[in-house]
Amino acid sequence: MVHQHFRLVEPFSVAENVVLGDHRDVGRTFRLHSRAIERRVGELSQRYGLAVDPRARIWQLSLGEQQRVEILKALYKDARILILDEPTAVLMPQESRALFDTIRAMARDGRTVIFISHKLREVKAVADRVTILRRGRSIATVPAADATPQSLATLMVGREIRPARRDGPREVGEACLELHDVGADGDRGLPAVRDVSLTVRRGEILGIAGVAGNGQRELAETIAGMRPPTGGTVRVTGRKLKAGDARAAIGAGIAYVPEDRLGTGLAPGLSVADNVVLKSYRKPPASRGPLLLVRKIRELAEALMQRYDVRASGPDVPARQLSGGNLQKVVLAREFSGDPVVLVAASPTRGLDVAGIEVVHAYLRDAAERGVGVLLISEDLDEIRTLADRIAVMYEGAIVGERDASTATVEELGLLMAGGE
């Protein structure tokens, strides 16, 4: 198994990492035969074109080289089946090509390689057969030679039997959120958002579709000021936003429903009441000067809990004891109570039951009705097609296409999501 996130011991050498967890012969003796191990690792890397110095320390290596170490680890243990989980996510294009050669070489030696990817071109380039998974289910297995990006995309997103019930056209006002050439790095320091330009107008829902991990989270965080942009500008109602400053974003009227409810959107150990004023504690009625008005905060929380039907035994319950749907209600209640201009919602229905999803959708519609510009980021194409007025597709950090929601077809969007042209 080659994980997407590497399992390597950074201060150790390549050879040491390769034998780690290997119990066949070195485990039986006390001594590590470093020379022999290094020689064997060297042979393997020659044979499969995995150029890496066995004596180098992991922390000295690039991500691409680290991945080769992961593969060497599996080969050293003589693995017959290799599972590669999105191996190209961390690679440069030329590194990807080298990896494909390695995969081919391994397959020629009679090893089985399972290559997990959401990039259709790669799948076509390297695989013999392709299996499509959708929502945890295996949908179909087809020979790669017969597949076209178009046919794979159709299988990936699926054809809805029931045509998505679309919202009618909304009355749309002037632009309230404008992004111009915004770029940002991901957590690993690689570019995650590339030159994104888009406009959201008052009273409109702009859906951002895309397979998870294509920069949507980073984009949302950049707009919300939690991630410093590497370039570009964000404007709210025409005024330029101070980059990478969450407080400025809140002040400008950007409400943000983060993907990670418990931990980012809410402080798990704090009470519901405290979480309700997470953003508004700086001003009345939650506080006066430096003082926190504890009783007022409780009253505020009780009122909001009632209005948004949050099921909890009281405002003093720690947030972590609430169910997912109720947590999302608390987040939404708070974000709406701040009278936002723009609402950025990242996967707002993930992990919720049907009733919870309905509630969230109702809130989003309601927000648009009241003239809020909504940016809805979701991996659920049906959700986006139901709610959004326009749909932008994000792939590898860039917006690869924008369509009117009423005319876009599932196939067309699926192809864009998978990086096809």
Partner 1 sequence: MIRIERRLEQPRWLTVVVPVVSVAVAFLLATLVLLATHHPPLHTFRRLFDAAFLDNGALTETLVSATPLAFTGLCAAVAFRMNLFNIGGEGQLYAGAITGATIALLLGGAPSAVVIVGMIAAGAAGGAVLAAIPGVLRAFFSTSEIITSLMLNYVVALIIDYLIFGSHSYLRDSSGFEASVFPQGKTLPDEATWPSWAIHGLVIPLGALVAVAVAVVVWFLYKRTRFGFEVSVIGDSARAGRYAGMRTRRKIVAVMCLSGAIAGIGGASQDGDFRHQLDPRGLTQANYGYAGIVVAALARYNPFAVLLVAFLLGGLQNAGYTLQGADFPNGLVGVLQGLLLFCVLGGELFIRYRVRIERRHRTAAETA
By the criterion CB under 8 A, which residues form the site for partner 1? 224-226, 245-251, 256, 258, 260, 263-270, 274, 277-279, 281-282, 287, 290-292, 294, 321
Specify the residue, 225 or 325, whose C-beta has the smaller distance to partner 1: 225
Least distance (Å) from partner 1 to the CB of residue 130? 37
CB 115 within 8 A of CB 103: yes
Residue whose C-alpha is closest to residue 385's, from 177, 140, 171, 159: 159
Least distance (Å) from partner 1 to the CB of residue 177? 18
Half-sphere exposure of 139 (CA within 13 A, CB side): 15
Amino acid present at 390: R
Helix axes 354-369, 324-337, angle to 10 degrees: 10
Least distance (Å) from partner 1 to the CB of residue 224? 7
Least distance (Å) from partner 1 to the CB of residue 275? 8
Least distance (Å) from partner 1 to the CB of residue 277? 8
Specify the residue, 42 or 338, whose C-beta has the smaller distance to partner 1: 338
Specify the residue, 150 or 287, whose C-beta has the smaller distance to partner 1: 287
Least distance (Å) from partner 1 to the CB of residue 242? 11
Alpha carbon distances (Å) from 209 to 300, 387, 414: 36, 12, 9
Least distance (Å) from partner 1 to the CB of residue 338? 11
HEC string of the chain equals: CECCCCCCCCCCEHHHHHHCCCCCCCCCCCCCCHHHHHHHHHHHHHHCCCCCCCCCEHHHCCHHHHHHHHHHHHHHCCCCEEEEECHHHHCCHHHHHHHHHHHHHHHHCCCEEEEECCCHHHHHHHCCEEEEEECCEEEEEEECCCCCHHHHHHHHHCCCCCCCCCCCCCCCCCEEEEEEEEEEECCCCCEEEEEEEEEEECCCEEEEECCCCCCHHHHHHHHCCCCCEEEEEEEECCEECCCCCHHHHHHHCEEEECCCCECCCECCCCEHHHHHCCCCCCCCCCEECCEECHHHHHHHHHHHHHHCCCCCCCCCCEHHHCCHHHHHHHHHHHHHHCCCCEEEEECCCCCCCHHHHHHHHHHHHHHHHCCCEEEEECCCHHHHHHHCCEEEEEECCEEEEEEECCCCCHHHHHHHHCCCC
Least distance (Å) from partner 1 to the CB of residue 400? 29
Specify the residue, 339 or 358, whose C-beta has the smaller distance to partner 1: 339
Specify the residue, 19 or 254, whose C-beta has the smaller distance to partner 1: 254
Least distance (Å) from partner 1 to the CB of residue 286? 9
Specify the residue, 56 or 248, whose C-beta has the smaller distance to partner 1: 248
Specify the residue, 132 or 249, whose C-beta has the smaller distance to partner 1: 249
Least distance (Å) from partner 1 to the CB of residue 265? 7
Specify the residue, 225 or 401, whose C-beta has the smaller distance to partner 1: 225
Specify the residue, 231 or 251, whose C-beta has the smaller distance to partner 1: 251
Specify the residue, 175 or 262, whose C-beta has the smaller distance to partner 1: 262
